[in-house]
């Protein structure tokens, strides 16, 4: 394992950021949701756009298992099933587009998706309510399509899907449990495409992901414990500002 990890030729600073991202993955899946937006631009800066998407995906799937094991009883399956057809279509669209652009263009797409996600987060902060959002099939289809595309290109579907699940007026535990199952299913669905089409997941990258598993576990534990003690407004301002700067950096 050590020789495989050494093959990535990361310096100590880069290893620090990779381990920090693994911590953030665990925290994001167990309550500290906003911190997940920082992960994509950091890993893209270290590994490149498409390669980072393949490295991050198994980490997310590991963390999804933690979230599902804790909240699985609260899932509202009718919403998960309703989203699946359009989400699969969005994933396939992202697969095609990601296969025909170069890495710099891929990073630009990731940055654009992240910035749109931040706009949605800010809009939600100001709106304070999602009651005006329609609950019809068209809205579900658009949400699924956008979520599938953004999760395939940048593993960044969180803001879009949060808006959808909030608009369904789900109680807190149902919101978390439904989202946990949705992302576990979609992330597992994406893995074969990363292996066979994009070739961004192989034995080396999976070994790196396994090495990050302890950090993901610690992050998941911290997420459960810390979410109650973090001041909401300063935290969200910090996350939005930091993520915006990191995403803008991907354009250069």
- Mean pLDDT, 10 residues at a time, the chain of 252 residues: 87 96 90 80 93 96 88 85 96 96 92 86 66 69 93 89 80 82 96 96 96 94 76 70 81 78
The predicted pLDDT at position 35 comes to 81
- Going by the DSSP 8-state scheme, the letter that residue 230 receives in this structure is S
pLDDT at 22: 97
| pLDDT value, residue 174 | 83
| pLDDT number for residue 48 | 93
What pLDDT does residue 125 have? 66
Find the domain containing 241 and state its range. Answer: 2-249
Tell me the C-alpha distance between 7 and 126, whole Å: 46
Alpha-carbon distance of 30 to 226, in angstroms, equals 10
> Half-sphere exposure of residue 249, counting CA atoms within 13 Å on the CB side?
15
Give the pLDDT confidence score for residue 252 in this predicted structure. 73
Number of structural domains the chain divides into: 1
Q: What is the pLDDT of residue 156?
A: 87
**CA 28 to CA 226: how far, in whole Å?**
11
Q: What is the pLDDT of residue 135?
A: 63
């Amino acid at each position: 394992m050590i020789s495989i990890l050494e093959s990535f030729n990361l310096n100590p600073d880069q290893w620090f950021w990779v381990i920090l991202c693994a911590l953030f993955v665990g925290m994001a899946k167990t309550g500290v949701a906003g911190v997940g937006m920082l992960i994509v631009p950091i890993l893209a800066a270290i590994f490149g756009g498409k390669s980072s998407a393949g490295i991050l995906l198994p980490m997310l799937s590991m963390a999804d298992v933690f979230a599902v094991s804790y909240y699985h009883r609260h899932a509202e399956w009718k919403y998960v099933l309703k989203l699946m057809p359009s989400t699969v279509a969005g994933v396939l669209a992202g697969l095609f587009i990601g296969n025909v652009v170069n890495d710099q263009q891929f990073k630009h797409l990731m940055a654009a998706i992240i910035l749109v996600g931040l706009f949605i987060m800010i809009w939600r902060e100001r709106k304070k309510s999602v009651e005006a959002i329609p609950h019809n099939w068209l809205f579900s289809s658009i949400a699924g399509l956008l979520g599938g595309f953004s999760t395939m290109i940048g593993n960044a579907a969180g803001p879009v899907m949060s808006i959808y699940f909030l608009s369904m007026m789900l109680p807190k535990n149902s919101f978390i449990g439904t989202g946990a199952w949705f992302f576990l299913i979609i992330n597992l669905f994406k893995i074969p495409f990363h292996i066979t089409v994009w070739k961004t997941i192989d034995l080396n990258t999976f070994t790196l992901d396994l090495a990050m598993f302890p950090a993901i576990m610690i992050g998941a534990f911290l997420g459960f414990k810390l979410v109650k003690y973090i001041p909401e407004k300063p935290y969200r301002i910090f996350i939005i500002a930091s993520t915006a700067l990191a995403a803008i950096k991907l354009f250069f």
